[in-house]
Each structure stands twice: as structure tokens, then as C-alpha cells.
Amino acid sequence: MDRESYDDEPVYYCKRCLSLKICQMPMVENQSYCEDCGTVDIGEASFEEWDEMYVEKYGHHFCAKEEKKEERKWPYWC
């Protein structure tokens, strides 16, 4: 699969917590749920649309690297 067609694939996400951990309910056809919070309110969007919602809710991009926190120094080494 090339990058363009990969980017066109939609993501399924939880509308409550925006988790991408969506699972299929066993023995229930066409019913999915969020593994993190348990809701069955699942949405579908492009990754870019979902990431915008994630930023709006959590204040940072899902794939953003965490900034390295400065190591704590002992008071007498400062």
C-alpha cells in the first residue's frame, strides 16, 4: 500500500474519549465499542480530522513527541 492510499483510510474512534482502541463486540454483528471507556458511540473520520479533534480536546497532537524534561538537579549543583 502506498502512502497516499494509506492516508486515505479512515480511522474509527470513540466519540467520548477519542481513543483509537475500537473493538468488535463478540457475538454481536456490526457493533463496536471503545476499549478505554466502554462506550459504543463510535465515529469515523480521516486521521487529520481526528487529530484536529484530539488537539482541541487534549491540547496536543496524538503523535507529538513529548518534550524532554530537564533532569532535576541537586540544589547544591545548581
The whole-model pTM stands at 0.73
Asked, for residue 44, whether it belongs to a domain, the answer is yes
Which tens digits make up the pLDDT trace of 8-47? 889 999 999 999 999 998 888 889 999 999 999 999 999 9
Asked, for residue 35, whether it belongs to a domain, the answer is yes
Number of domains in the chain: 1
Asked, for residue 74, whether it belongs to a domain, the answer is no
Asked, for residue 9, whether it belongs to a domain, the answer is yes
Q: Which residues share a beta bridge with 42?
A: 14
The residue among 25, 19, 12 whose CA lies nearest residue 58 is 19
Q: How far apart are CA 14 and CA 23, in angstroms?
A: 10
Phi-psi region of 27 (alpha: psi -120 to 50; beta: other; left: phi over 0): left
CB neighbourhood size of 34 (10 A): 22
pLDDT in the model for residue 77: 47
Asked, for residue 20, whether it belongs to a domain, the answer is yes
User: 72 pLDDT exceeds 70?
Assistant: no
pLDDT in the model for residue 64: 76
Q: Please give the residue that has the higher pLDDT: either 52 or 6.
A: 52
